[in-house]
Amino acid sequence: MGVLGVALPLVLSIQGFVLCHCADVQPSISDYYSLRTRDVLVGTLFAVGWFLFAYHGYDRRDDIAGNLACMFALGIALFPNSGGPVERRVHFLSATAFFTVLSYFSIVLFTKTAGNPTPMKLARNVVYRVCGGMMLACIALIAAYFLFLQHTAVSRLKPVFWLESTALWAFGWSWFVKGETLLKDSEP
């Protein structure tokens, strides 16, 4: 999961440069759907979605969050932002809900502890909260951009692409830490 989250923006932008001769990054990650990079975008969203569907975690909240995240990932993939008004609305709502659920994983579910947390678990909890907060901040900044800055010179900087990438990187790092690839407890 971590690898998919961290790699997706990089793979899409590099593939866009190579295959489509795009000199710049697209305005958003979802805009790569309109290029030949669509297969990577949709395939990754389906892989992430099905992984989250299969993820059951420790209790019912984990299972529900995984199922919702799966549904929202599939909504992003199946309703492109280049479609009609209804498709764009479903895409945008799915993307917002997807990142919100991922931040819930980081902030709420990953920080749960049974008993006394180890020093490394406390360190991991800080990473989870920072990553979840970054995802929420990215959602808020994207909303602010669309409300106030979309038709200004700021749009040339492709803020949605960079904010979505930051949210995906935060998601990826949170999963790296959750899988104890990073900040692993030392063996007793």
Task: Name the residue range of residue 61's domain.
Answer: 2-178
Cβ contacts of 150 within 8 Å, gap of 6 or more: none
Task: State if pTM tops 0.85.
Answer: yes
Overall domain count for the chain: 1
Q: Left (φ > 0), alpha (ψ -120 to 50) or beta: where does 19 sit?
A: alpha
Cβ contacts of 149 within 8 Å, gap of 6 or more: 155, 159
**What letter represents residue 185's amino acid?**
D
- Residue 130 pLDDT more than 80? yes
**pLDDT, position 188:** 63
How far the first Cα of the chain sits from its last, in Å, is 28
Q: Classify residue 183: in a domain, yes or no.
A: no
- Residue 187 pLDDT more than 80? no
**pLDDT, position 19:** 83
pLDDT for 8-42, tens place per residue? Answer: 999 999 998 888 777 789 999 999 998 888 999 99
- Residue 131 pLDDT more than 90? yes
pLDDT for 46-101, tens place per residue? Answer: 999 999 999 887 889 999 999 999 999 999 999 999 999 999 999 999 999 999 99
